[in-house]
């Protein structure tokens, strides 16, 4: 069964830039303030690259860089736990989890739909909610979030990322898209009342044609995005049969057609090519929202890094995805909430993609359901028929690939020398009981402990 996926190897990074004198000085000053390097002792560590569980490793960690500096293979009896060390023997240790498709500024659609959230909640409320969301995510074992669109909050996601990176608030390491890109009127919360300028904040920046698209990508880069996200398709013609609630869609008219809100492509192939070319010039990964065969094929051929959703892909389209080496993020958790009986077809497609050796990353479209419940996505990978070890790779290493791999500037998603010290420990073995993934005992991100023995430490 496992033979259909070859063992991935982290792609080679660009040649390292020598450390500057100023940077060395900064690290020396940090070292004076921080505890000295320490060791984390383990008895069982999951390796998402080999898909094996490795026994009896001790991980040397430098708090100043937040990196794992050395991995020592121990024999059980000779481990000496020194002062400051952390003993995770008896627990199941995994690399910190990556949620590859999130929205920190959204909370569950069961509580308020997107129009209500973007129109009625204040900027301050949305920032404070996001602060709570990030704590919930971290305590659930998520040390990295790829946050794909600020949902009416302009470029605040970039500022929010920086607040975490400066240590002002705690949360996962964020990779943000700022505003998403779409063609004119392609992605917006449509409303029927335009009187008095009634409107809902834009969630997307409209750009059409080569010049506007290049400018929009350059603007996103200038605003500090880590990833450019665009919509390759969307339910643009929704106002023919206006919705009662925009997302999730519920029709407001009495006799709607079978599919009142079909997804249509928003761009031409040339436009998508230009968008990808411009982002690649800055070594910035591209994420494409795409649900239909046409849009997925277009985005894959243009060379996007990740394809989000891909709900209705057939086998021919999956072959094109594989050929172009794109990563799929099937966002099963939101699909489970949206599609009822059609959801089974989406699970089947996700399984087929795995069988064909397509790399998939776990990302639930978290935010449309509550942060902290992220692990549902991994559970649905397993429900689709993907083996546990491959699912755990999608939850960790493939998440790093989705964030851009080496272009992230930091290695995470596996436990190796030179990787960020992002470590999660479970009380029970998920090979025996899947609910173990919901029982997080320990969380470390960048060498800082945020949860110990099931209790938060900050
Ligand atoms: Zn999303």
Q: Is residue 245 very low, low, confident or very high in pLDDT (cuts 50, 70, 90)?
A: confident
Looking at per-residue pLDDT, the higher value among 12 and 458 belongs to 458
Distance 102 CA to ligand 1 centre (A): 6
Structural domain contains residue 61: yes
Domain assignment present for residue 18? The answer is no
Cα 271 to ligand 1 centroid, rounded to whole Å:
22
C-alpha of residue 377 to centroid of ligand 1, in Å: 14
The answer to whether 274 touches 210, Cβ cutoff 8 Å, is yes
Residue with tokens 């500096």: 69
User: Where does the pLDDT of residue 247 fall: very low under 50, low under 70, confident under 90, or very high at 90 and above?
Assistant: confident
Mean pLDDT value of segment 362-376: 98
For residue 197, is pLDDT > 80?
A: no
- pLDDT-derived band at 74, boundaries 50, 70, 90: confident
Q: Examine the domain organization and report whether 440 and 311 are in the same domain.
A: no
Task: Tell me if 12 is assigned to some domain.
Answer: no
Determine, yes or no, domain membership for 370: yes
Centroid of ligand 1 to alpha carbon of 362 (angstroms): 13
Contact indicator for 300, 319 with CB cutoff of 8 Å:
no
Alpha helices in 110-248, H assignment, sequence order? 114-120, 123-139, 156-165, 209-223
Residues 6+ apart with CB under 8 A from 347: 332, 380, 383, 384, 385
Q: Are residues 206 and 307 in the same domain?
A: yes
My answer on whether 230 and 90 are in the same domain is no
CATH code: domain of residue 63: 2.30.40.10
Candidates 386, 256, 408, 253; CA nearest to 328 is: 386
**378 and 338 within one domain:** yes
- At residue 202's C-alpha, the angle toward residues 198 and 204, to 5°, is 155
How far apart are the CA of 329 and the centre of ligand 1, in A?
A: 10
249 C-alpha to center of ligand 1: Å?
15
Separation of CA 231 and ligand 1 centre (Å): 10
| Integer Cα distance of 115 and 200 in angstroms | 7
pLDDT at residue 2 tops 60: no
Compute, in angstroms, the gap from residue 149 CA to the centroid of ligand 1: 7
Residues 129 and 245 in one domain: yes
What's the confidence (pLDDT) of residue 452? 98
Tell me, yes or no, whether 42 lies in a domain.
Answer: yes
> Per the domain annotation, does 25 fall within a domain?
no
Which is more confidently placed, 302 or 3?
302
Within 8 A by CB and 6+ apart from 187, the residues are 180, 203, 204, 231, 234, 266
DSSP secondary structure string, 115-128?
HHHHHHS-HHHHHH
Query: Does 426 lie in the same domain as 362?
Result: no
Same domain, 302 and 332: yes
Instruction: Indicate whether 275 and 421 sit together in one domain.
Output: no
Rounded to the nearest angstrom, the distance between the alpha carbon of 182 and the centre of ligand 1 is 14
Q: How far is the CA of 322 from the centre of ligand 1 (A)?
A: 22
- Could you tell me the CATH number of the domain that includes residue 265? 3.20.20.140
pLDDT of residue 85: 96
Q: What spacing in Å lies between the alpha carbon of 308 and ligand 1's midpoint?
A: 8
- Give the other-Cβ count within 10 Å of 106's Cβ: 29
Q: What percent of the chain has pLDDT over 90?
A: 81
Identify the domain containing residue 78 by its residue range. 33-95+417-456
261 and 377: one domain? yes
- The alpha carbon of 103 and the centre of ligand 1 are apart by a number of angstroms equal to 6
Provide mean pLDDT across the span 154-170: 97
| Cα-to-centroid distance, 101 and ligand 1 (Å) | 6
Ligand 1 mean position, distance from CA 334 (Å) = 9
The residue-averaged pLDDT of 361-366 equals 98
**How many angstroms is it from 229 CA to the middle of ligand 1?**
10
Same domain, 436 and 314: no
Given 369, 384, 408, the domain boundary residue is 408
- Residue 14, pLDDT score: 65
Average pLDDT, the chain: 93
Q: In terms of residues, how long is the chain?
A: 458
Q: For residue 23, is it within any domain?
A: no
Judge whether residue 286 has pLDDT over 70: yes
pLDDT tens digits for 58-73?
Answer: 999 999 999 999 999 9
Ligand 1 midpoint to CA 333 (Å): 11
In terms of domains, do 176 and 310 share one? yes
Question: Does any domain span residue 11?
Answer: no
Domain tally for the chain?
A: 2
Smallest CA-to-CA distance from 181 within 283, 361, 304, 294 is with 304
Q: Are residues 435 and 309 in the same domain?
A: no
């Amino acid at each position: 069964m496992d033979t259909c996926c070859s063992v991935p190897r982290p792609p080679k990074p660009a040649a390292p830039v020598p450390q500057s004198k100023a940077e060395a000085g900064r690290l020396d000053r940090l070292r004076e303030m921080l505890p000295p390097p320490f060791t984390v002792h383990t008895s069982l560590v999951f390796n998402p690259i080999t898909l094996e569980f490795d026994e009896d490793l001790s991980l040397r960690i430098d708090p100043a860089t937040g990196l794992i500096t050395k991995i020592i293979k121990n024999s059980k009896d000779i481990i000496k736990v020194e002062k400051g060390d952390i003993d995770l023997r008896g627990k199941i240790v995994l690399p910190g989890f990556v949620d590859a498709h999130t929205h920190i500024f959204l909370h569950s659609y069961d509580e308020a739909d997107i129009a209500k959230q973007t129109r009625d909640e204040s900027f301050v409320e949305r920032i404070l909610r996001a602060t709570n969301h990030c704590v919930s995510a971290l305590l659930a074992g998520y040390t990295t979030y790829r946050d794909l669109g600020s949902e009416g909050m302009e470029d605040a996601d970039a500022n929010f990322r920086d607040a975490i990176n400066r240590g002002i608030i705690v949360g996962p390491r964020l990779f943000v898209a700022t505003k998403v890109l779409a063609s004119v009127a392609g992605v917006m919360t449509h409303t029927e009342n335009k009187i008095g300028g009634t409107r809902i904040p834009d969630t997307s920046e409209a750009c059409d044609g080569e010049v506007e698209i290049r400018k929009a990508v350059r603007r996103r880069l200038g605003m500090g995005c880590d990833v450019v996200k665009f919509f390759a398709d969307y339910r643009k013609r929704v106002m023919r049969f206006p919705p009662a609630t925009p997302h999730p869609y519920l029709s407001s008219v009495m006799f709607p057609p079978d599919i009142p809100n079909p997804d249509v492509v928003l761009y031409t192939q040339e436009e998508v090519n230009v968008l990808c070319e411009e982002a690649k010039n800055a070594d910035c990964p591209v994420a494409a929202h795409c649900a239909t065969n046409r849009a997925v094929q277009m985005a894959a051929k243009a060379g996007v890094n990740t394809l989000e959703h891909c709900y209705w892909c057939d086998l021919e389209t999956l072959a094109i995805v594989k050929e172009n080496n794109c990563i799929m993020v099937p966002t099963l958790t939101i699909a489970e909430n949206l599609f009822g009986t059609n959801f089974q077809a989406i699970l089947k497609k996700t399984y087929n993609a795995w069988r064909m050796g397509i790399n998939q990353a776990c990302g639930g479209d978290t935010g449309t359901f509550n942060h902290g419940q992220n692990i549902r996505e991994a559970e649905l990978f397993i429900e689709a028929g993907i083996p546990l070890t491959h699912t755990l790779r999608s939850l960790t290493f493939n998440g790093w690939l989705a964030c851009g791999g080496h272009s992230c500037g930091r290695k995470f998603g596996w436990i190796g020398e030179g990787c960020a010290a992002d470590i999660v420990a479970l009380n029970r073995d998920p090979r025996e009981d899947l609910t173990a993934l919901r029982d997080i005992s320990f969380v470390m991100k960048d060498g800082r402990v945020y949860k110990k023995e099931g209790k938060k430490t900050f």
